Chains A and B, each alone.
Chain A
Amino acid sequence: MGATDVNPTRMELIKTKERITLAVKGHKLLKQKRDALILEFFKILKKAQDLRGQLAQRMAQGYHSLALAETYHNMQELTKVSLDLKKEIDIDIEVRNVMGVKIPNIDAKMEHKHFLSLPTYSVAATSAKIDAAVDDFNEILQMVIRLAETETAMKRLIVEIEKTKRRVNALEFVLIPRLEETKKSITFRLEEMERDSFVSLKAIKRKLDKEKKAKMAG
Chain B
Amino acid sequence: MKAKIIVIGDAPLVMGFKLAGIDNTITATDKTIQTELEKTLENKEYGIIITSEVMLNKVDWRLKRKLSTIAYPVVIPMPDYSGKSTEGDEIRTLIKRALGFDLAAKK
Whether both chains belong to one complex is answered with yes
Q: Hey, which bits of chain A sit against chain B, CB under 8 A?
A: 38, 45, 50, 52-53, 55-56, 59-60, 62-63, 66-67, 70, 75, 78-79, 81-82, 85-87, 89-95, 102-104, 106, 112, 130, 133-134, 136-138, 140-141, 144-145, 147-149, 151-152, 154-156, 158-159, 161-162, 165
A-B contact pairs, 28 of them (CB 8 A): A50-B104, A52-B91, A55-B78, A56-B85, A59-B85, A60-B79, A63-B16, A70-B15, A87-B20, A87-B22, A92-B1, A93-B48, A104-B71, A106-B74, A112-B21, A130-B19, A137-B16, A137-B19, A141-B20, A144-B76, A147-B76, A148-B48, A149-B74, A155-B91, A156-B69, A156-B71, A159-B94, A162-B97
* B: interface residue count bin: 35 or more
Nearest Cβ in chain A — how far from B41, in angstroms?
A: 14
Q: Are A56 and B98 in contact (CB under 8 A)?
A: no
Select one of A50, A52, A66, A87 contacting B16, CB under 8 A. A66
Nearest Cβ in chain B — how far from A201, in angstroms?
A: 58
Q: Are A62 and B16 in contact (CB under 8 A)?
A: yes
Q: Are A140 and B48 in contact (CB under 8 A)?
A: no
B103 within 8 A of A: yes
Rounded to whole angstroms, the CA-CA distance of A151 and B85 in the bound complex is 14
Select one of B1, B69, B95 contacting A93, CB under 8 A. B1
Q: Are A52 and B71 in contact (CB under 8 A)?
A: no
Going nearest first, the 10 A-B pairs with the smallest beta carbon separation are A87-B21, A52-B88, A82-B18, A137-B20, A102-B71, A60-B83, A162-B98, A63-B81, A141-B20, A93-B47
- Binary interface profile of B, 90-107, with partner A (CB < 8 Å = 1, else 0)? 010011011100011000
- Binary interface profile of B, 1-35, with partner A (CB < 8 Å = 1, else 0)? 11111000000100111111111000000000000
Rounded to whole angstroms, the CA-CA distance of A133 and B12 in the bound complex is 11
Rounded to whole angstroms, the CA-CA distance of A67 and B50 in the bound complex is 20
Nearest Cβ in chain B — how far from A166, in angstroms?
A: 10
Contacts A66-B15, A85-B20 aside, 16 further interface pairs with beta carbons under 8 A come to A52-B87, A53-B88, A59-B78, A63-B81, A66-B19, A78-B18, A78-B19, A81-B19, A91-B4, A91-B47, A102-B71, A106-B47, A138-B20, A141-B20, A154-B91, A162-B94
Give chain A's interface secondary structure class. helix
If the complex has contacts A89-B4, A158-B95, are A82 and B81 also in contact, measured as CB distance less than 8 A? no
B43 within 8 A of A: no
Rounded to whole angstroms, the CA-CA distance of A52 and B92 in the bound complex is 11
Q: Are A86 and B19 in contact (CB under 8 A)?
A: no
Q: Are B22 and A141 in contact (CB under 8 A)?
A: yes
Nearest Cβ in chain A — how far from B69, in angstroms?
A: 8
Nearest Cβ in chain A — how far from B5, in angstroms?
A: 6
Nearest Cβ in chain A — how far from B29, in angstroms?
A: 17
Q: Are B1 and A94 in contact (CB under 8 A)?
A: yes
Residues of chain B within 8 A (CB-CB) of A112 are 21
